[in-house]
């Protein structure tokens, strides 16, 4: 296994590391429980969009620095300027939504690795990922109702898709903690395990995905997203990827590996 290398992004406090086909994005603001600043939102957008030019990335893991928290939410220290007045608030919410959509639109699958609190805007990031893995004791929360803060209906739609209407309503109306164990029972979290185990299990799941045919996985992700959003254009994109997979060298490799009783070596072409 190669040794991951990390480099801070000049446009925001996130770290990016690559280990073979797996990229890990770390929300790096531990002094504020990995709260997400404006610069960090901008950096997330830039990274997510860059993945379309990185076929070497087959899976992206998003996590918070350390094990204290996935994210305590938006960094409210900048709210006086960034979210004062309705027009600024809408511009800020547009930035958050742009980041979440960019994460959802990545060609390769994404996994949120959650330790501890996953709050507010942090919950939106986690909900934008294709799956979530969480340590025992971690939880989701949206405290907008305790702050008198309007919550973007686009973000609420995302919670509905991931958690379902009853759970999303509970989280939004009560502003109370929603344990990862309950989310797992709903299928919103793929697995819950002790903190000392969840990172290895997340990496194992990421490696399993990365070992599969990238075009087939991308086609499946595109189709899932298209149907979840009822988006005809996205469905057209999924159809093109589906046809590309059937005509790919990887399909020939998969058939040969099956007949030869060996592990396939997919190239993504």
pLDDT at residue 58, as a whole number:
96
Map tokens 């009560």 to a residue: 174
Amino acid 9: pLDDT: 39
Q: Please give the structure tokens belonging to residue 266.
A: 């997919």
The distance from CA 4 to its chain's CA centroid, rounded to whole angstroms, is 20
Give me the pLDDT at residue 5, please.
Answer: 44
Beta bridge partners of 71: 118
> Could you list the pLDDT tens digit for every one of the 269 residues in the chain?
344 444 443 334 899 999 999 999 999 999 899 999 999 999 999 999 999 999 999 999 999 999 999 999 888 765 555 555 566 678 889 999 999 999 999 999 999 999 999 999 999 999 999 999 999 999 999 999 998 888 899 999 999 999 999 999 999 999 999 999 999 999 999 999 999 999 999 999 999 999 999 999 999 999 999 999 999 999 999 999 999 888 988 888 788 888 888 888 888 78
**What's the rounded Cα separation, in Å, for the pair 24 and 84?**
33
Residue among 238, 228, 215, 199 at smallest CA distance from 127: 228
- CA of 140: how far to CAs of 10, 130, 143, 234, 263, in Å? 29, 16, 10, 29, 38
- The pLDDT of residue 245: 87
Put residue 122 in one of left, alpha, beta given phi > 0 → left and psi -120 to 50 → alpha: alpha
Predicted pLDDT of residue 81 = 53
User: DSSP 3-state assignment of 140?
Assistant: strand
Run of H or E residues at 197: helix 195-210
Residue 105 is classified by DSSP as T
DSSP conformational letter for 261:
T
Q: Give pLDDT, residue 204.
A: 97
pLDDT at 78: 57
Is the Cβ–Cβ distance between 133 and 112 less than 8 Å?
yes
Nearest to 128 by CA among 166, 102, 146, 91: 102
**Contact between 24 and 74 (Cβ < 8 Å):** no
Cβ-contact 74, 36 below 8 angstroms: yes
Q: Can you read off the two tokens belonging to residue 119? A: 């709050």
pLDDT value at residue 75: 82
- Cβ atoms within 10 Å of 146's Cβ, excluding its own: 11
């Amino acid at each position: 296994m190669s040794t991951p290398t990390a480099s801070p992004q000049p446009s925001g406090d996130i770290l990016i590391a690559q280990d073979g086909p797996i990229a890990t994005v770390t929300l790096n603001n531990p002094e504020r429980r990995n709260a997400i600043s404006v610069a960090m939102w901008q950096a997330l957008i830039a990274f997510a969009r860059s993945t379309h030019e990185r076929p070497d990335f087959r899976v992206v893991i998003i996590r918070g620095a350390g094990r204290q928290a996935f994210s305590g939410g938006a960094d409210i220290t900048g709210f006086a300027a960034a979210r004062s007045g309705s027009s600024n608030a809408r511009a800020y919410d547009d930035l958050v939504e742009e980041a979440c959509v960019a994460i959802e639109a990545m060609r390769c699958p994404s996994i949120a690795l959650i330790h501890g609190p996953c709050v507010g805007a942090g919950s939106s990031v986690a909900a934008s990922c294709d799956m979530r893995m969480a340590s025992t004791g971690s939880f989701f929360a949206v405290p907008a109702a305790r702050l008198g803060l309007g919550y973007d209906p686009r973000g609420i739609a995302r919670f509905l898709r991931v958690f379902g209407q009853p759970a999303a309503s509970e989280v939004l109306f009560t502003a109370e903690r929603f344990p990862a164990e309950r989310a797992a029972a709903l299928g919103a979290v793929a697995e819950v395990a002790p903190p000392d185990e969840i990172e290895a299990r997340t990496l194992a799941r990421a490696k399993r995905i990365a070992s599969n045919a990238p075009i087939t996985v991308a086609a499946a992700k595109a189709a899932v997203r298209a149907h979840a959003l009822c988006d005809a254009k996205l469905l057209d994109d999924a159809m093109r990827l589906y046809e590309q997979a059937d005509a790919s060298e990887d399909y020939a490799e998969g058939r040969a590996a099956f007949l030869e009783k060996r592990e396939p070596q997919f190239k993504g072409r």
